[in-house]
Amino acid sequence: MRKKAFVLSVGLITSLTFIPSTPGFAQSVGGNGGLNVGVSLGGSRGVNANVGASLGGSRGVSADVDASVGGSRGVNTSATASVGGSRGVNANANASAGGSRGLNANVSANAGGGSGVGLDVGLGIGGGSSGGGGGGPDNGGGGGGPGAGGGAGGIGNPGQTPIAAFNAMSPNERRTVLKRCRDVVNGGYDRGLVALCRILQSNASR
């Protein structure tokens, strides 16, 4: 019971970070897999948040948090975590600012299981295909590290650095990205996304 309350409280705190004051509101509590909470404000262009928690079963403890602000050109974040089961402990976090032409960052980590400990980080700017993240290091056991998914939505050639991709954008696109970066740096977003934005801001000020 204590674990269930903890998972739910963490999810609610995360989702409430993205909820401004808007007119419509809907929520549900229940679900056959344990505990589920859903919140929606403002429709497709407003704010949407979802929190799900499950305790027990063959997979142990799992939690999911999703939030969307501003529609296709706004800011989107997703975080999932799972504890228990045959794979041990794994976590995944994704952040996107600026929609299809904005900034995207993906960070995933896995601890436990046959593949040991692995970490993968991918960063991308704008829309289109992106370069994949590097595979995680193998820390004992058979097989390589998990190396989960590359950064979403990069532009330009595979393996192109974020600075090169940023410089390849049109002036209007660069202004849009830098405007989003101001919100990201000041808004307590994922550390990888904040670091990328600071690099781009420093490059643009030269």
- What per-residue confidence (pLDDT) applies to 169? 92
Domain identity same for 90 and 186 = yes
Counting the structural domains of the chain, the total is 2
Domain identity same for 59 and 97 = no
80 lies in a domain?
no
Residue 142, Ramachandran bin (φ over 0: left; ψ between -120 and 50: alpha; else beta): beta
- What per-residue confidence (pLDDT) applies to 59? 46
Neighbouring C-beta atoms of residue 200, cutoff 10 Å? 22
- What per-residue confidence (pLDDT) applies to 66? 52
Domain identity same for 197 and 161 = yes
78 lies in a domain?
no
Domain identity same for 98 and 36 = no
Q: 170 exposed, middle or buried (CB, 10 Å; 0-12, 13-18, 19+)?
A: exposed
Q: What is the domain extent for residue 28?
A: 1-70
130 lies in a domain?
yes
127 lies in a domain?
yes
- What per-residue confidence (pLDDT) applies to 148? 38
Domain identity same for 113 and 202 = yes
Domain identity same for 90 and 57 = no
How many Å apart are CA 112 and CA 90, to the nearest integer? 8
DSSP category for residue 72: G
Residues 6+ apart with CB under 8 A from 193: 95, 97, 103, 105, 123, 184
Give the pLDDT of the chain (206 residues) as one tens digit per residue: 544 444 444 444 444 444 444 444 444 444 454 444 454 444 454 445 454 444 444 444 454 545 444 444 444 555 554 444 444 444 454 444 444 444 554 444 444 444 444 444 444 554 443 344 444 444 443 343 443 334 334 445 566 788 888 889 999 999 999 999 999 998 889 999 999 999 999 888 88
DSSP category for residue 205: T
79 lies in a domain?
no
Distance in angstroms between the alpha carbons of the first and the last residue of the chain: 54
Is this prediction's pTM over 0.85?
Answer: no
Domain identity same for 122 and 42 = no
Q: Output the CA torsion sign for 165, 168, 169, 171.
A: positive
